Structure 1
Amino acid sequence: MITCSVSEQLRITEIFYSLQGETSRVGLPTVFVRLTGCPLRCSYCDTAYAFSGGQNMTVAEILTAVARHHTRYVTVTGGEPLAQKNSLLLLSALCDAGYEVSLETSGALDVSSVDVRVMKVLDIKTPASGEVKKNLWSNLTALHAHDEIKFVLCNESDYIWAKQVLRERDLVDKCTVLFSPAQDQLSPTVLADWILRDSLPVRLQVQLHKLLWGNQQGK
């Protein structure tokens, strides 16, 4: 049993149970722990409701909430989870409790201290996101084979830019790379055609949860 002091709290927007809609774990029943707050303002953000509000919870309280759902998979997301220093403690505590844990992070904050057992899903911001200057490229050296890199693409210019980054930084030699179309901005079919035309060694990611439930929060 983990005993947490008052200082070991996090600001939580929501904890919910759903199907994983992204990454190589797509379709798996997963508990999502959404932390409050984010230093970025991406043009396509679909979780602006997590920028503020929420409630303080200790790591022990979060573990209790997660345990109510009988699944082995937990995703810590945001907002930007790493904006809260105690997120590192939470990630390790979840791993210690036996869960297979993934972290969804913007790629703007240092990931080198994240527990190696965690699958890091690192978002590389494209020009159309409006936050391309926030990419912390040194994060690429902290990735392992089980981690994943995600590009959210808004248009063909983003695609061309991502192809260049893919090649120049040898990303496919590091881990799985995901290309995801921004909702209502780039057709998944068009992106699929580009990937096939160029024989890119990337995985097309279509957000399963939005196909099933639209933009409903807590899904």
Structure 2
Amino acid sequence: MNASLRPLSLKISEIFLSLQGETSRAGLPTVFVRLTGCPLRCVWCDTAYAFSGGQTISLPEIIEQVACHGVNHVCVTGGEPLAQPACLPLLSALSDAGYAVSLETSGALDVAEVDARVSRIVDLKAPGSGEFGRNRWQNLALLTANDELKFVLKDRADYEWARQLVLDRRLAALCPLLFSPVDGELPAATLADWILADRLPVRFQLQLHKLLWGNIRGK
């Protein structure tokens, strides 16, 4: 078969059904499509198993596996899903199939070509992540009310950085803002108290799936 006629394929770490644990969609039954590979190495990463391995699966097969779970919400995540060029047609194909699609991306790669029907969850890397220098600041100008901006915070220094960024750049006018504590590093109640004390226009969130099932893979 001519290479141009072959179905697109992606390296997939796992496809599974769970409750969405984060974002404004928290609690909704969701199919997660986790792509293999990531160019970043955040010190608090909880999905390092997705850095390598996985299985090469054609795009039609991915859509078929998603359909088997029988729910409307799909989250494409990683790793860093945009590190695979075929992620873009995957997002469009899922949208064409009628799914409500979200993309979880580090914010280190360009989100401009992501299908406009997809909600882009962009994770700005705080200094404590070790990957602050990888933030692609041009992405901020591309965000709309359909997207969300996520901050995972390790300590008070990370919080102060994020707070100042929110205020200086008036980020709340762009899209919903999400503040999360690094699991095992920053007590959740401490972060909640800081947000309340500053009346910060952000949504506090915990990883619901970890509260329910711990760090079990595929949940």
TM-score category of the 2 structures, normalised to the smaller one: over 0.9
In the other structure, the counterpart of 1:114 is 114
In the other structure, the counterpart of 2:89 is 89
In the other structure, the counterpart of 1:54 is 54
Unmatched 5+ stretches in structure 2: none
Q: Report the alpha carbon displacement of residue 5 of structure 1 after superposing the two structures with TM.
A: 4.5
Unmatched 5+ stretches in structure 1: none
Q: Report the alpha carbon displacement of residue 141 of structure 1 after superposing the two structures with TM.
A: 1.3
In the other structure, the counterpart of 2:214 is 214
In the other structure, the counterpart of 1:25 is 25
| 1:121-150 Cα distance to aligned partner (Å, 9 max, x none) | 000000000000000000011111010000
Asked if the contact 1:176/1:203 (under 8 Å) is kept, the reply is yes
Q: Report the alpha carbon displacement of residue 56 of structure 1 after superposing the two structures with TM.
A: 0.5
Superposed, 1:68-217 pairs within 5 Å as: 68-217=68-217
Q: Report the alpha carbon displacement of residue 6 of structure 1 after superposing the two structures with TM.
A: 3.6
What residue identity is the alignment partner of 2:25? R
SS of alignment partner, residue 38 of structure 2: coil
Q: Report the alpha carbon displacement of residue 183 of structure 1 after superposing the two structures with TM.
A: 0.2
SS of alignment partner, residue 139 of structure 2: helix
CA distance in 2 between partners of 1:26 and 1:5 (Å): 39
SS of alignment partner, residue 111 of structure 2: coil
If the length of structure 2 is used for normalisation, what is the TM-score? Answer: 0.97
What is the percentage of aligned positions where both structures have the same residue?
62
Asked if the contact 2:7/2:59 (under 8 Å) is kept, the reply is no
CA distance in 2 between partners of 1:21 and 1:67 (Å): 21
| 1:164-205 Cα distance to aligned partner (Å, 9 max, x none) | 111122110000000000000001100000000000000001
CA distance in 1 between partners of 2:103 and 2:136 (Å): 16
In the other structure, the counterpart of 2:44 is 44
Q: Report the alpha carbon displacement of residue 8 of structure 1 after superposing the two structures with TM.
A: 1.0
CA distance in 2 between partners of 1:108 and 1:68 (Å): 32
Q: Report the alpha carbon displacement of residue 7 of structure 1 after superposing the two structures with TM.
A: 5.8
SS of alignment partner, residue 32 of structure 2: strand
CA distance in 2 between partners of 1:170 and 1:62 (Å): 39
Equivalent residues, number: 216
Q: 1:95 to 1:140 in 2, by over 3 A?
A: same
CA RMSD in angstroms, aligned pairs only: 0.9
Asked if the contact 1:6/1:58 (under 8 Å) is kept, the reply is no
Q: Which moved more, 1:194-203 or 1:164-173?
A: 164-173
SS of alignment partner, residue 26 of structure 1: coil
CA distance in 2 between partners of 1:111 and 1:168 (Å): 23
SS of alignment partner, residue 71 of structure 1: coil
SS of alignment partner, residue 67 of structure 1: helix
